[in-house]
Amino acid sequence: MLAYSTIAHMGFLLLGFISGDQEGYGSSMFYAVIYVLMSLGTFGMIMLLSRVGFEADNLNDFKGLNQRSPWLAFMMLLLMFSMAGVPPTVGFYAKFSVLNAVVQSGHVWLAVLAVLFSLIGAFYYLRIVKLMYFDAPESHEPIIFGQDTTLLISLNSLGVLFLGLLPGTLMSVCAVSVQQSLLLH
């Protein structure tokens, strides 16, 4: 699922380039930074749930995660909401900024198409949330992890929420970086 997710997210990132202006390029840079943050957290959760002799590489491996570890389930919920573009996570603002640049450049039909495909993608992300919170776990084996791992996953996932609540600073840094880059060329 994450391979197809990457294709969809890179499509969104490329939409910002269609505008051909500073706002679009800044939106694409913001989207790239956010996508890296979301992917690191998601793959970190997969690694955390994997153990010797077991790879957490199927959707069913997330069944009942809330019963086994409510905190990890909440962290994964934040990541999946952000990947889906649900407010107030930063994934929403990343998609919104790209769509805004596309609409401003006069490609409304493309923005509508992107929203439709984003809704289809949201189904798959929200399915993981459903598995974590509403399905019975396939294994009741405790999830063993170190405090440093918990701290990193927590900082990453809470960063997705925090940046969603206050996206302006990172958006400004991306816009200034693009502006400086354009001035050099």
Cα–Cα dist 5/95, whole Å: 14
| Predicted model pTM | 0.90
Paired residues of 51 in beta bridges: 54
- Mean per-residue pLDDT, 21-42: 93
Q: Are 91 and 85 contacting, i.e. CB atoms less than 8 angstroms apart?
A: yes
Cβ neighbors of 105 (< 8 A, separation 6 or more) are: 18, 19, 20, 21, 24
Name the CA dihedral angle for 155, 57, 50, 164, rounded to a multiple of 10 degrees: 10
Mean pLDDT check: name the lowest of 1-10, 68-77, 148-157: 1-10
Share the mean pLDDT of the chain: 89
What the block records as the tokens of 140 is 């009741």
Counts for the chain of helices (H) and strands (E), in that order: 8, 0
What the block records as the tokens of 24 is 């679009």
